Structure 1
Amino acid sequence: MFKKITSIVLITLLTVFISGCGLDKGVAGDQPTNSGQNKKPASNEVKEIHGMMENIERLNLFVEHVQSGKDDKVRLTRYTDEGDPIYHDLANHDSKLTIQIDTTEDKFGQGEVTTYVCKGIQKQESETETKYILEQCPDFTDLLTISYDVDKEDYFAFELKYGVGKQNVIDTKGQKLIKDLQNGETVTVSDFQFSKSEMNAIYKRMIFSNYLGEKKLSKECNQKPYKGYEMNVWINSGEQHFEWSECDKSNDGQEMNELVANILEILRKNSTYQTLPEVKAQYE
């Protein structure tokens, strides 16, 4: 009994000691791990968190402005595995592109601010990745590469239930597709599969929607009927669950609605889906 009590006391003291060290480190001026990752990016900021993107449209707009000769500036914040931010401040003025890279908050980085002058920037897209490349920029060329190749993951699958009563189902894990004909009937495909290119396109949209990030969604809706949504995503050994309604007008709700719209656009072009009967009625 005495040995058991002694072990508990030692574990408690060790926990307090470790916590105290963490507090002392914070006072010394180091940034807390994961600081800022859960904050929504500013309108002029793009975030890259372990391959997930937030506000990537702003970087695309910057590329367009540079290529058309319009002055603009944007910040790309990339987070290390330890949660430390590295800032990439890009500015285009009088047809001159500069990038300032700030690693002063990266505990394992060089801890310096470096500026490069470049000729321009271009965006290159393929079926498996999107690259942002700086042109004629000495010592720094690859700004950002976003990969969405499902073959590089150990496992990737998702299930999406959507529509009134969530009667429509896309289930790549169970290889099942259900279409609600909205007249009390449904039609089911029991061996449904997307092609690799379709899965890459869907995975791309999920990454651009930062599907691994924290989402605040609402299932409440005061209208009848209303469309509900439920999504499960399995990636490697992890799983994400989302549930919301069309009445969710928050930024997260709108982002998830856009993700669903993109998935359904890909689905409607699928050859198997195109063989299914048309919707026979409309919910009112």
Structure 2
Amino acid sequence: MNVTPDSKLLCKLRIMVVLFRSLARAALPALLLLVLATGCSLFDRGGSSAISHKIDEEKDVISSNGNGVSNLDKLDSFMERGSGSQRIVQYTIEGDPIFIELRYKGGRLELDYDTTEDAFGSREVKTYSCSELVRTEEKHQLRYSLKGCEGDMGDGDLLIVSFDLSSQDKFEFVLKYGFNHRNEINTVNQSLVKDMLNGTASEISDFSLPQADRQSIYRKLVLANYLVEKQLSTSCNLKPYESYDLTVMINSAERHYAWSECDTGRDGKTMTEAADYIIGLVEAGDSYLQLPAATGGVK
């Protein structure tokens, strides 16, 4: 029988296959022992997730590991509706996102818990079922707790927003507002300035904000997620128009925001609500009420 070059190559390939199979059978027990001894997996545990990992800054509730929670109102609306779905993105201390998909199904609350991007987590997706999500506001924190959960999930807190002012070393702020920022609330210099609307201003230089009011204002700012960057606008097509300038000093950090009453964006509305809350609280206090009434024609 003649042996052609092609048949020689085929023989060599067959010999290689046989050798590979023999080596694989011999090495497999040792490889399995290595896996058992080290506790490591031969396969990527991450797998694929049914939850999208594309973060939506407008719709997702985003918890930044102690640096505030964005879009918390979305979670409140979801709970009020009692239908549909809502996603929460929780960042770990290392900066890895954990994705939580909530949905009402069959009269219960179902959630997918996705840790596939958490480098120090189990890197898997698990589904749990609970009877309800409960919102509880305590003295210095807001809790969102899961109740009536089945399986190994257990009842517990899904999200906690803390606004305990006593845990901060420093909290001061300067808020300028009104036409051309002529009004000012300044806890740094302990002063109040009131625009008399006639070209003059009246001032108190020994202003002291009560601790209860400080705590209340701090809570409002935390719920407004004041620590994150805001998309604000100072432009306005009204004449005259009111504008706001807020500087917050928290511990060793400082945040500054400037916007006008014409800013109707999401962040503009949130910051206007927070500023108006501060203004209303201070202007209802004894110190401000000592100031004379404005005499000008423009409020």
Quick check: which has more Rg, 1 or 2?
2
Match of 2:86 in 1: 74
Deviation, structure 1 residue 233: 0.8
Deviation, structure 1 residue 205: 1.8
Relative to structure 1, is the Cα distance of residues 88 and 183 closer, same or farther in structure 2, using a 3 angstrom cutoff?
Answer: same
Amino acid at match of 1:83: G
1:41 aligns with 2:79: no
Q: Separation in 1 of the partners of 2:169 and 2:93? A: 19
Q: Separation in 2 of the partners of 1:216 and 1:36? A: 21
Q: How many residues align?
A: 244
1:165 aligns with 2:177: no
Match of 1:95 in 2: 107
Match of 2:275 in 1: 260
Deviation, structure 1 residue 81: 2.6
SS at match of 1:219: coil
1:111-141 deviations in Å (ceiling 9; x for gaps) = 1222221111211113311111111224241
When the two structures are superposed, what TM-score results if normalisation uses the length of structure 2?
0.74
SS at match of 1:225: coil
Match of 2:137 in 1: 125
* Runs (5+) with no aligned partner, structure 2: 1-52
Relative to structure 1, is the Cα distance of residues 270 and 78 closer, same or farther in structure 2, using a 3 angstrom cutoff?
Answer: farther
Deviation, structure 1 residue 215: 1.9
When the two structures are superposed, what TM-score results if normalisation uses the length of structure 1?
0.78
Q: Separation in 2 of the partners of 1:279 and 1:116? A: 60
1:54 aligns with 2:70: yes
Match of 2:165 in 1: 150
Q: Separation in 1 of the partners of 2:77 and 2:266? A: 19
1:190 aligns with 2:205: yes
Relative to structure 1, is the Cα distance of residues 271 and 114 closer, same or farther in structure 2, using a 3 angstrom cutoff?
Answer: farther
1:216-273 deviations in Å (ceiling 9; x for gaps) = 3222233321112111111111111112222333332222212212222322333333
Relative to structure 1, is the Cα distance of residues 78 and 221 closer, same or farther in structure 2, using a 3 angstrom cutoff?
Answer: same
Q: How large is the Cα RMSD of the aligned pairs? A: 2.3
CA contact (8 A) 2:147 2:155 kept: no
1:84-137 deviations in Å (ceiling 9; x for gaps) = 211121112232112221111122222122222111121111331111111122
CA contact (8 A) 1:162 1:227 kept: yes
Relative to structure 1, is the Cα distance of residues 100 and 270 closer, same or farther in structure 2, using a 3 angstrom cutoff?
Answer: farther
Amino acid at match of 2:144: Y
SS at match of 2:116: coil
Match of 1:21 in 2: none
SS at match of 2:111: strand
1:32-57 deviations in Å (ceiling 9; x for gaps) = xxx978x6232xx2111233121111
Relative to structure 1, is the Cα distance of residues 222 and 41 closer, same or farther in structure 2, using a 3 angstrom cutoff?
Answer: closer
CA contact (8 A) 1:127 1:201 kept: no
